[in-house]
Structure 1
Amino acid sequence: MNEQVVDISETLKYLSNELNSMRQTVDSQHAEICKLNRKVAAQSKEIRTLKKENSSLRKRLSKYEQPSKDSKNSSVPPSKEGLKTEVIRRTNSLREKSDKPVGGQTGHQGYTRKIVDAPDLILDHSSHYCQDCGRDISALEATLEYTTQEIDIPLIAPIIKEHRHSAKVCSCGCHNRPYAPKKRGGNNITFGKNIQALVTYLNVVQCVPYERLQSMLKTIFSIEMSQGTISNIIQVAKTKAEPAIKLIKDYIRGSSVVGFDESGCYCNGRLDWSWIAQTPHSTLVFRASSRAGKVLENQFGADVLKNITAVTDRHAAYFALDFKDHQICLAHILRELQYLNELDPNQDWSKKVEELLKETIHKRKENPSTKIDASPWLK
């Protein structure tokens, strides 16, 4: 502005152009501001709509809050439950409330233990002194008022049998020995068949570990036995049982429907898997180091599995095998239906399916060998 104005017309022209440029800039910025305002208004409207929709969805989803899964309503094993869930399961009955009266139901055949006519031991109980005056009444004749019987077992103590092996020499010079020759370095003390059978039963059938079995034998039966001896007894029993195990395995191979299951078990501190194959008449339990479906293929053969309808849980390994058909275990389905009942108490279809399955199971238990007509169930 300190410059000297020479030509007023040129100056006015310059200022006019500058003013027009500023007007264009202002108009452009005004248009942009209007555009942004419209965008903000649209976004505000969208936010209000989304908030309203979110609130509605939250309200709808509130009734679908997933209950925790446990061994009651899912395939979660009890060993995987939390402490709180385990306490509830152990202290609360899982049986559903019934309108039936407590005790034996109508038509149920009761059972009462009967008095034995010839007891092994008779004990007489009578007073020796008068409760009033203290006089000796032991010589007086007593009048029997009533009898009771007590069932007990005698004190268990091992019986030691000494086997004396004698030889006889015939006049012909033959040395007769009705027994096997003594093994060099063999122990002169062995355990009898009853003890071997008991050890095998407790370990194999009742799943008592070696250490606990060793303690049980010492505490209850006063028998000192090392874990190595227990292992040897089990191995001998296994060898003797191999023909029977083969028959069971062959029977299962020829069965049309077989139930399979597996459960973790620790063997010498290592996690192994105890497998089971079961039919109405035979059960085969075997140990494997894996939980994969290959275990069943190796045990029974892939060609055999193609002829079997398998009844299993939802373990993925079973679905990778080529069975003839597949039935999910009804007990697992009932647990999952229970979960759906807890998930949405307002719906009733899962409850109806649960009642249907329970009724069919009850019918089958009442008539285990009768073919049940399915047509009434499909109406």
Structure 2
Amino acid sequence: MTFAKLKAEVDNLRPALSAEGLMLVDLFMPFCEAQQATIKKLEDKLAVTSGNSSKPPSKDDFKPTKARSLREKSGKNPGGQSGHKGSKSRLIDNPDEIIPYTITACPGCGSNLSGVSPDGFIRKQVEDIPPLKTIVTEHRIEIKTCPCCAIQWQAAGCPEDIKHEFQYGPRVKAISVYLSAFQFIPAFRTKQLLKVFGVNLSTGTLDNFRKSAARQLPEFLETLRFSIIASLCGFFDETGMKVKGIGHWVHVAATELFSLFMIHPKRGREAHDEMDVLTWFEGILHRDDYHSYHAYPQATHSLCVAHLLRDLIYAIDRDKQGEWADPFIKLLLQVKRQKVESSTSVVDRRWQGRHRKKYRELLAIGLKQNPPAVKEDGSTRGRTAQTKTVNLLLRLRDNEDEVLRFMTHALAQFDNNQAERDLRMNKVRQKVSGGFRSLVAAQEFMDIRSFVATAIKRQADPVEELVNLFTPGNCDYMKLARHPE
């Protein structure tokens, strides 16, 4: 029974109660109301899922959630579509080895067929990997003593980067770092995997490879930072990460071509200023509604609408706000569809006015049903606690331009998925190997991750680019951090 029903029944019974009964009712009803409010808060908290909030799917309870997909049905059957080119393997025109099978005599009559031209061939190919083995190159430096001056000399020409009696080459280092920074394979399993190549490494050596890669990257990262600042649109987000068991934040500044990661103890303005991208960025800033992003007015802000859609679903499922929230979802998806179908990636101006009018009408209905709470004493100092639905309505009302930015700007996107996709891989690494043991190691990983993720976005081979990074004097990898000409 809700408190409203309880209060109605008690009010009906009041005329028949004695003075003592009325006193008990007035004493206990406030406790019942407070209890009901506490229960409502707990139920609201339990109702939050990955489908109606920013909560990740891994944090969902093990129970089925109400299916409510935001994707529109395509009408196509599952699987490969008609006319789809399959990915079946094709015969290679220039195989590495050909084993011929010839006919020298007729199996029937025994005639000699050695000089008869073949009618054709049946080709069958087998593709395999040769035995994996490293190549050890010995640099044998000759030493001689001059019989005239009795001075001992050694031959010149050995590369200066070969400083030790034994060391690993750039490809071994590159593959080791690639397995850690891209495939997220823990150190122990990386050691086991490299044994396939005949390489026996220690955990300390793997750590040294990571440190060596990070030492080569400052110039690359600085160029990458400037390239993101100069971009016309960027995507920014953050996610939690443990360092020595203490919560930290991984921040990302990304575009379609670049990814820059940084780990910091703080989530907000202090971390953004240390990253030093948002301070100078003047393009379209895709973000969620975290308050620290409001401190950069020089950029053109664009709110992630996907976050808002999940909040609207919560308002429908939990607070029964379907009258205005369901049409609101349909409105936002209609605008998205029109943007995708537009040749200019901008919704027609006539439709923009209609959509804004509908936007405000639905907001008015929502605010009428859910008026913002005011303080009992009428004070306006400080923030007044609001329900989740009211906060959503106020966010939609106060940030209309930011919410509809994707409707009016060709480069503005409907969501902030670019940043979330970049961050998701860091969360995968955390699930595989846990957190980091030191902040220095964590930032080294983020620097290398910035390099590898950018290489993949630029459609470059990350292993080969890491080989370039580990090869002294080879700066070809720097092109990855620059805008294409």
* Structure 1 and Structure 2 fold alike (TM over 0.5): yes
> Are 1:155 and 2:127 an aligned pair?
no
State the alpha-carbon separation in 1 of the partners of residues 134 and 309 from structure 2. Answer: 49
Q: Is the 8 A contact 1:169 1:176 kept in 2?
A: no
Structure-1 residue corresponding to 2:96: 120
Question: Match for residue 325 of structure 1?
Answer: 300
Note the residue ranges of structure 1 that are not aligned, 5 or more in a row.
1-38, 48-64, 126-142
Secondary structure in 2 matching 1:230: helix
Q: 1:178 aligns with which of 145, 150, 157?
A: 157
What TM-score do you get using the length of structure 2 for normalisation? 0.50
Partner of 1:36: none
Q: Which secondary structure state, in structure 2, belongs to the residue aligned with residue 83 of structure 1?
A: coil
Per-residue Cα deviation, 1:138-175 (whole angstroms, up to 9, x for no partner): xxxxx999655444323323332222233578999875
Deviation per CA, 1:332-352, whole angstroms, max 9, x where unpaired?
Answer: 234334445655596441341
- Match of 1:349? 327
CA offset at residue 223 of structure 1?
A: 2.3
Given that 1:265 and 1:273 are in contact with CA atoms closer than 8 Å, whether structure 2 keeps it comes out as yes
CA shift at 1:299, angstroms? 1.5
1:70 aligns with 2:38: no
- Residues 264-322 of structure 1 show CA distances to partners (whole Å, capped at 9, x for unaligned) of 233454443222101222211222232222111112167425x3542122334434555
Closer, same or farther: CA 195–181 of 1 in aligned 2, 3 Å: closer
| Kept in 2: contact 1:260–1:276 (CA 8 A) | yes
Cα separation, 2, equivalents of 1:280 and 1:112: 30
Which of structures 1 and 2 has the larger relative contact order (alpha carbons within 8 angstroms, sep 6+)? 2
| Aligned counterparts, 1:290-305, within 5 A | 290-300=266-276, 303-305=279-281
**Matched residue of 2:165: which SS?**
coil
The structure with the larger Rg is 1
Q: Percent identity?
A: 28
Q: Which residue of 1 aligns with 2:184?
A: 207
Change (3 A) 1:113 1:162: same
Root-mean-square deviation (Å): 4.6
Q: Structure 2: any 5+ residue segments left out of the alignment?
A: 1-13, 19-24, 26-42, 102-118, 355-485
Contact 2:309-2:329 at 8 Å conserved across structures:
no
CA change 1:262–1:119 in 2 (3 A) is same
1:1-379 matched pairs, under 5 angstroms: 40=15, 68-84=47-63, 98-105=74-81, 112-121=88-97, 147-166=123-142, 176-179=155-158, 187-218=164-195, 220-300=196-276, 303-305=279-281, 307-319=282-294, 322=297, 324-340=299-315, 342=317, 347=323, 348-356=326-334, 358-359=336-337, 362-363=340-341, 370-375=344-349, 377-378=351-352, 379=354
* TM-score of the pair, normalised by structure 1: 0.62
Deviation at 1:251, TM superposition (A): 1.3
Question: What CA distance in whole angstroms lies between the structure 2 residues aligned with 1:341 and 1:154?
Answer: 59
Between Structure 1 and Structure 2, how many residues are aligned? 298
Letter in 1 for 2:168: F
Report if aligned partners of 1:168, 1:177 keep a CA contact under 8 Å in 2.
no
Q: What is the rounded CA distance, in whole Å, between the counterparts of 2:99 and 2:70 in structure 1?
A: 45
Distance 1:153 1:351 in 2: 52
Q: Report the equivalent of 1:134.
A: none
Letter of the aligned partner of 1:331 in structure 2? A
| In 1, Cα distance between equivalents of 2:297 and 2:289 | 15
Contact 1:261 1:277 in 2 (8 A): yes
1:329 is matched by which residue type in structure 2?
A: C
Q: CA deviation at 1:210?
A: 3.0
Mark the CA change 1:285 to 1:226 in structure 2 (over 3 Å): closer, same or farther: same
